[in-house]
Amino acid sequence: MTDISTSSDLTLRVGLLCAPAITIEFHGGYTDDYGRSIDGTVTFDRRDAGRRFRCTTAESYATVRDVVIGIGFHWEQRIDLSYPGDFELIAEGDGNLRLINTVSIEEYLCSVISSEMSADASPALLEAHAVISRSWVIAQILAHKHPGSCRCNPNRPESAAEKSEIIRWWDRQDHDTFDVCADDHCQRYQGLSQAHNPRVVEAIAATRGLVLTDSKGTLVDARFSKCCGGATELFGTCWSEQEHHECLQALADSPHPERLPDLRGEAEAARWIESRPDAFCSNPSAATLRQVLKGYDQQTTDFYRWTVTWDAEKLSENIRLRLPEARIGRIRSLTAVKRGTSGRIERLRLTGSDGEVVIGKELLIRKVLSESHLYSSAFTVRYDGFDADGYPSRIILHGAGWGHGVGLCQIGAAVMGEQGYSSAQILAHYFPGAKLTSATEIIKSV
């Protein structure tokens, strides 16, 4: 699928827009498989599946109309984005057409880091994120090229202990015709419009070809989220329990990472979530937040602690629409069955008038309890206004953090950079025991 012959020439296939028809404006010189020049604006449909377009100059790029970003989130929108590199159109099984962009990994990273961070981010944060993003995306490439090389299991639901369980998770193996997608499911890749931040270019150059490896020399499947809520999570809470990653540990997001209470128990999780313990990510300034958050991300005012109040009837309907197979009827209660090391709920029992079901993992919980995505699954539940039959009229969720909480906390790392921590210190905090290694060494060993 992807050329991994050398780290400097490493390329990857990024899945862009998927739609019945795709409009592209070509700039600077492109040819098709027959060597014919293609320029200007062209609209393609499913009959064009299989066509490829190669850039002929270093200045060649293409503008793709109506690219959807923030898919499924409250900031979802359509914008025109421009991308470098080569392109291919493939048919999807649902009758749509998929556009795939083949681009060098370092050029991809320039766009990713600029799409995830702002021009105001500290050099330490940008360099740390460059290493993390490079580690993660090479892990995805190797997983496709050499299944099993990164201890990557096929994506399938964890086995349910009972028929009344619905356990699902989404990860890298969702994509089988390209390496990564261009949205939050993988890493934000918003093309040339984000790729010309000179500070990002410097950070990519300063870390060129460097990835994280563990004590065995295995590439670290580095993960990151917006805000850990003061405690990081284990890989198995969010994805496969059969995968263990020694550098993805449970720790407090503070100068004393070992001082993490056991948040797997309900009482301790409630005390943690319903208070505001000090952490790197607990009280960022507006200027620090701007390092990490794009304008549409700043619609949320507090990521560290938050509250969502549901009308119980509306929540019952939302569950029916988002997870129709649950069939629990009118909601009576939400009960945490299993929590992870950050207090995030891995399994949640929904009890209603027509029965009950246990759901997981954390992303499914976040989907079911929101019209888009709940900020995280680290929350407690309170009820208000019970009727004569014991059903609440309102259900209040008090929560912590934004995202899965595994690996680097972007807001916490931004604060660390502001406080004078180096990129090496940031990486050592969030990925204990990891070391910097040349990607070429990893590729040669596979």
Residue among 330, 408, 372, 403 nearest 72 (CA): 372
In this prediction, residue 148 has a pLDDT band, given cuts at 50, 70 and 90, of very low
Considering only residues 299 and 95, tell me which one the structure prediction assigns the higher pLDDT. Answer: 95
C-alpha to C-alpha distance for 17 and 34, rounded to whole angstroms: 24
pLDDT digits (tens, 9 = 90+) for 41-95: 999 999 999 999 999 998 899 999 988 776 555 557 788 899 999 999 999 877 8
C-alpha to C-alpha distance for 308 and 300, rounded to whole angstroms: 12
Q: What is the pTM of this model?
A: 0.85
C-alpha to C-alpha distance for 98 and 440, rounded to whole angstroms: 31
**CA distances to 129, 325, 387 from 391, in Å:** 46, 22, 6
Ramachandran area for residue 85 (φ above 0: left; ψ -120 to 50: alpha; else beta): left
- Tokens found for residue 359: 């759901």
Q: Quote helix, strand, coil % in the chain, to nearest 5.
A: 25, 30, 45
- DSSP secondary structure, 192-254, as one string: GGGTT-HHHHHHHHHTTTEEEE-TTSPBP---EESB-TTB-B-HHHHS-TT---TTS---BSS
- Tokens found for residue 156: 């399938």
C-alpha to C-alpha distance for 419 and 411, rounded to whole angstroms: 12
In this prediction, residue 112 has a pLDDT band, given cuts at 50, 70 and 90, of confident
Cis amide leading into 361 (omega within 30): yes
Look at the chain and count its residues.
446
Q: Which residues pair with 395 in a beta bridge?
A: 310, 383
pLDDT digits (tens, 9 = 90+) for 201-235: 899 899 999 999 999 999 999 999 999 999 999 99
Q: Which residues pair with 128 in a beta bridge?
A: none
* High-pLDDT (> 90) share of the chain, %: 63
Q: Is the pLDDT of residue 372 over 90?
A: no
Q: Is the pLDDT of residue 388 over 80?
A: yes
Q: Is the pLDDT of residue 410 over 90?
A: yes
pLDDT digits (tens, 9 = 90+) for 330-360: 999 999 999 999 999 999 999 999 999 999 9
DSSP one-letter code for 372: S
Check: CB of residue 351 under 8 Å from CB of residue 328.
yes
C-alpha to C-alpha distance for 15 and 445, rounded to whole angstroms: 27
C-alpha to C-alpha distance for 311 and 52, rounded to whole angstroms: 51
Domain ranges in the chain?
11-151+167-211, 239-247+260-403
Check: CB of residue 17 under 8 Å from CB of residue 56.
no
